[in-house]
Structure 1
Amino acid sequence: MAAQVQDKVVYNSPQQFPEGIDWDAKNGRFLVGSVLKGNILAIYPDGTTKEVVKDEEYSGCATLGLQVDLPRNRFVVTVHSNNPAAPYDGVAAYDLDSGKRQFLTKLSDVPVETPPVNLPIFANDSAVDAATGEVYITDTQRSLLWKTDADGSNPRLFSGDPLFAAFPKVYFGPFDFGLNGLVVHQDGYIITTHVGAGVAYKVPLDGSPVKKVEIDGLFPGADGIRFRPDGRLVVTSDECVYLVESTDGWETAKILDKVPQDPSISTTAVAIRDGRAYINYAFFAEAFGGKERSEFFLQTADFRVDK
């Protein structure tokens, strides 16, 4: 049995419905987006909040995958329009202290010659290469990886490897999604997970072939992922939060532990604060069911193997 979840950070923000999250160690706060409000909210450990970004250029869109980029004193976030609004997908960067926009790059206008399926882009998660500042984005609807330069320029398709769609679905949730969570490893590759297939991929930044990470299990409904300082990977899903370890550069990996989750409240993302995993809950059923909600929370997932 995995250890019980504990240590909540409770906060109030009407209709926030956060999807992406990260820990801002410089300012001692969490940053979250919103599937309905399209803002960025700072949440302090005592539960107080402050709106950091409200960008009118994509008003009505959702702010999704979010990552703090400390070397450049900024954070990046993906933007995706909600139905029935006109398609709008992009990635933006904002100053970590002032919230001033550094760039906003639209991805939905970037052509793809042979998309794997006849669907529009869905910019979902984002990750920054700490060494170069280049930004990578998952296209969840078509299982593609996008890339921009460090300043948001030159948006282009980075990888549409057929392996991304090569494995059968094991998760049949409310959304028929492909690639979602991603992180950039300092050794020069991306780890990304597939929602429907519950598998992980190793994607070299130098263009070498994509590989499926051979793991002793699956992550049905995999969503947000983050590396801990010890190199272990935390993977969230509606059913469990997983702790995963590799000893061979993510050619293979092992699931060390898992913490069960309540599937009704949408476990979407994880932030690492002082080595501990803080989990975000989006309450999608309420968000897209026309419900009103003001109280939200982050909650730690503590693993028995760490005891």
Structure 2
Amino acid sequence: MRVPFHPAFRPHRTRALLLLALSGSLLFSATSCSDDNDNDSSPSLPETVAFTQANLYPEGVQYDAKNSRYLVSSQTAGTVGQVKDDGTYTAFAENAVLVSTIGMNLDESRNRLLVAVSDPGYNKERTSAATLRKLARLAIFNRDNGQLQSTVDLGSLRPTLNHFANDIAVDGQGNAYVTDSFSPIIYKVDAQGTAGVFLENAQLAAPAGMFGLNGIVFHPDGYLLVAKSDEGAIFKVPLNNPAAFTKVAISQDLKGADGMLLQDNNTLQVVTNAQAKVYRLTTTNAWGAATVTGTFSTPPQYPTTLARREGADSYVLYSNLNALQASQNPPVSVFTIARVRF
């Protein structure tokens, strides 16, 4: 910027004005550059949290702001662990009913942690012929001390089918909805612990050996959004008439869709582990259709799901489940929770 000379201007005043103009220009430039990133609301948050726990292979993650920790599951240890920002890992909940812990939901208003429990065969100490690919259980813990409050057997509702309880959503009344990846079923467990089949439909089935229904979130307008991994689709399921579910029209291939996070009523984040990406989807018609408005690429470490932290910020868990599925030896020992940046 050129400042015209004027006799009343002294040299030091001219330099001051030049510095002021320059700093203002730089400030405007920096502000403009941040428009591509809507995750700057809490710049002091860590970009990554890495923790060491050999052979853990966590699939689910939640952030507990009250206790300043992440809660993580484990497909191999059948525990729920807690991770601090400095990477310290300690056990949060341990119980014999936990074979493999999968997705979780931190129901803050009721001070409880809901955990989906399955048996894919990776916990060598607890897997059995009776539970292998047959187990679907909901375990509910006290959010503060990790004490087991109750368990609900979901697989027994359809005892002849294969089961894999995967993810959990909770509505405003405390009803929990649990997806089954091996059967075309969404279960409902009310606040009193009574379980039933909320939705069962052959359209939601997956080929043998593949994962079908997966991530699930509750929308405050009275419906669920549910991911189907093998198809790369998202379904909208009304709570008052689940049989009237519809597929959300999305042009993007979401093959491998896993965990999801509802950022706001019109914005959904979806992890696709097969693509090593997190997609941000936006709707203008109440999830009749959606478009991709952001993409976050992750390392090829099999991202699975997301945790909300400090408002709009979200973190994705790198589970490395691909290494577990390949029987990698030695097993992975360091796992990462990373801040999502679109």
> Does TM, normalized by the shorter one, top 0.5?
yes
Equivalent position SS for 1:150: coil
The separation in 1 between residues aligned to 2:86 and 2:161, in whole angstroms, is 42
Q: 1:248 aligns with which of 282, 285, 300?
A: 285
Once the two structures are superposed, the pairs formed by residues 111-122 of structure 1 within 5 Å of their partners are 111=158, 119-122=161-164
Partner of 1:91: 138
8 Å CA contact 1:161, 1:210 repeated in 2 = no
Q: 1:110 aligns with which of 142, 153, 157?
A: 157
1:182 partnered with 2:251: no
The separation in 1 between residues aligned to 2:205 and 2:305, in whole angstroms, is 23
1:223 partnered with 2:258: yes
8 Å CA contact 2:316, 2:340 repeated in 1 = yes
Q: 2:196 aligns with which of 136, 153, 156?
A: 156
Show structure 1 runs of 4+ deviating over 6 A.
Answer: none
Partner of 1:72: 110
1:33 partnered with 2:73: yes
Query: Relative to 1, partners in 2 of residues 1:229 and 1:50: Cα closer, same or farther, differing over 3 Å?
Result: farther
Residue type at the aligned position of 1:27: N
Q: How many residues align?
A: 285
Please state how far the C-alpha of 1:143 moved relative to its aligned partner. 2.4
Once the two structures are superposed, the pairs formed by residues 203-218 of structure 1 within 5 Å of their partners are 203-208=237-242, 209-218=244-253
Residue type at the aligned position of 1:142: S
Partner of 1:199: 233
The separation in 1 between residues aligned to 2:75 and 2:266, in whole angstroms, is 30
Residue type at the aligned position of 2:283: S
The separation in 2 between residues aligned to 1:79 and 1:165, in whole angstroms, is 20
Residue type at the aligned position of 1:62: S
Please state how far the C-alpha of 1:198 moved relative to its aligned partner. 0.5
1:20 partnered with 2:60: yes
Equivalent position SS for 1:57: coil
Equivalent position SS for 1:193: strand
The separation in 2 between residues aligned to 1:295 and 1:16, in whole angstroms, is 9
Partner of 1:115: none
1:268 partnered with 2:315: no
RMSD between aligned alpha carbons?
A: 2.3
Please state how far the C-alpha of 1:106 moved relative to its aligned partner. 1.2
Equivalent position SS for 2:47: strand
Please state how far the C-alpha of 1:230 moved relative to its aligned partner. 6.6
Query: Relative to 1, partners in 2 of residues 1:155 and 1:141: Cα closer, same or farther, differing over 3 Å?
Result: same
Equivalent position SS for 2:285: coil
TM-score by length of 1: 0.86
Unaligned runs of 5+ in 1: 113-117
8 Å CA contact 1:163, 1:210 repeated in 2 = no
Please state how far the C-alpha of 1:247 moved relative to its aligned partner. 2.1
Residue type at the aligned position of 1:101: L
Partner of 1:137: 178
Deviation string, structure 1 residues 20-55 (Cα, Å, up to 9, x no partner): 111112212111100100111111112122211011
Equivalent position SS for 1:71: helix
8 Å CA contact 2:182, 2:205 repeated in 1 = no
Higher relative helix content: 2
The separation in 2 between residues aligned to 1:241 and 1:18, in whole angstroms, is 18
Query: Relative to 1, partners in 2 of residues 1:175 and 1:224: Cα closer, same or farther, differing over 3 Å?
Result: farther
8 Å CA contact 2:105, 2:169 repeated in 1 = yes
User: Which is further off, 27-36 or 291-300?
Assistant: 291-300
Percent of pairs with identical residues: 30
Please state how far the C-alpha of 1:111 moved relative to its aligned partner. 2.8
8 Å CA contact 2:137, 2:152 repeated in 1 = yes
Query: Relative to 1, partners in 2 of residues 1:48 and 1:95: Cα closer, same or farther, differing over 3 Å?
Result: same
Please state how far the C-alpha of 1:139 moved relative to its aligned partner. 0.7
Partner of 2:21: none
Please state how far the C-alpha of 1:293 moved relative to its aligned partner. 2.8
1:287 partnered with 2:324: yes
Partner of 1:296: 335
